[in-house]
Amino acid sequence: MQVIYKIDKIFIFIFSFIILIIGLVGAISFRNFLFFLFMAMVEFFYLFFSLKRYFRRLKAIKAEFPEAWRTILSIHSSLYRNLCEPNKTRFEKDIQIILSDYSIEGIKGRRINIETKILVASSVATMLNGRPYWEPPILDGIVIYPGHSFNRHFQPGKGNYAGLASYRGPMILTEGALEESTKHPNDGFNVVIHELAHYFDMEDGKAEGIPSARLSFKKISKWKKMISKEWQRAFQQRSFLRDYAGTNEAEFFAVVTESFFEKPWEVKQKNPELYDTLKDFFNLDTAHIIKETR
Ligand SMILES: [Zn+2]
């Protein structure tokens, strides 16, 4: 993740320049200096709102990364533990940016402790570590429900949803599923990675197991073939992935992404082509990085 992206800088510069030119041309044409002052005020508000996020992120990464957070990450994240120093520093900066810029809240004003927030942010940072120019596809923050489940009417303690990637809505997670995800970092179950994989998939408006919005046209067809082969096996319960992967292609992508980050050596051994496709997409050789935890 970046504090400010090059494309944003270009847009801000162009719009600021246009506002300034309008102010100057208007003041000369109308022979009215007040018009220039008015446009200068417009410029000020434009820059204030455009750069607000930039300054917020800058402040977050300038702060010292607490040692207690490092301890939490070292215990619960196999990837963080095994990253080289520059990538570890980037991981920490991503955590600071996520915590400053994305809302992670409980329902009905329930307080979420900082450890839980760090663990959520850690899974997001895990998926982005190989792609420093990516933003997570989180549109409306993350909401944490108490207990282990909720139902389709979003009633906590009922139904069997452990998490949900609501289309264009917030990512919903249960405390129980989060606890399970972080207790065993190498069992192939991580509710945050699972739901975020759904958001990557849905960025193009379709849940079909292919994160098309971040793939070139050529790569999309390769994905289709690759996903379809292993998904057929999962559908017939012959895959190395857990049975839930056979539900449909979207769940397949979410489940295999969890395994790619939690037990990548298994994905690499059972289906090297699938592993390489995910490695290429996330730009991270997870089997190489976290092999020590095998
Ligand atoms: Zn799912």
106 CA from centroid of ligand 1 (Å):
21
15 CA from centroid of ligand 1 (Å):
41
Query: Is 64 exposed, middle or buried (CB count within 10 Å of its CB: 0-12, 13-18, 19+)?
Result: exposed
Q: Which pLDDT score is estimated for 293?
A: 52
Nearest-angstrom CA–CA distance, 90 and 96 = 10
Query: Is 155 exposed, middle or buried (CB count within 10 Å of its CB: 0-12, 13-18, 19+)?
Result: exposed
**Residue 151 CA from chain centroid, whole number:** 24
243 CA from centroid of ligand 1 (Å):
12
60 CA from centroid of ligand 1 (Å):
32
Q: Which pLDDT score is estimated for 291?
A: 67
168 CA from centroid of ligand 1 (Å):
15
The torsion angles phi and psi of 150, rounded to 5 degrees, stand at -150, 165
172 CA from centroid of ligand 1 (Å):
11
Q: Which pLDDT score is estimated for 222?
A: 85
174 CA from centroid of ligand 1 (Å):
14
193 CA from centroid of ligand 1 (Å):
10
128 CA from centroid of ligand 1 (Å):
19
Q: Which pLDDT score is estimated for 114?
A: 95
Which helix (H) or strand (E) covers residue 265, if one does?
helix 264-270
285 CA from centroid of ligand 1 (Å):
24
245 CA from centroid of ligand 1 (Å):
9
Nearest to 121 by CA among 71, 65, 193, 176: 193
Contact 159, 150 (CB under 8 A): yes
Q: Which pLDDT score is estimated for 292?
A: 52
**Residues contacting residue 204 through CB under 8 Å, at least 6 positions apart:** 211, 212, 213
16 CA from centroid of ligand 1 (Å):
43
75 CA from centroid of ligand 1 (Å):
26
pTM above 0.85, yes or no: yes
| DSSP type of residue 184 | S
The torsion angles phi and psi of 239, rounded to 5 degrees, stand at -85, 160
94 CA from centroid of ligand 1 (Å):
24
Nearest to 191 by CA among 282, 115, 124, 97: 124
200 CA from centroid of ligand 1 (Å):
12
* Average confidence (pLDDT) per 10 residues, the chain, 294 residues: 94 96 93 92 96 96 97 94 95 98 92 95 97 95 95 92 92 95 90 97 94 92 85 92 94 96 95 94 95 55
170 CA from centroid of ligand 1 (Å):
14
Contact 283, 294 (CB under 8 A): no
251 CA from centroid of ligand 1 (Å):
5
194 CA from centroid of ligand 1 (Å):
6
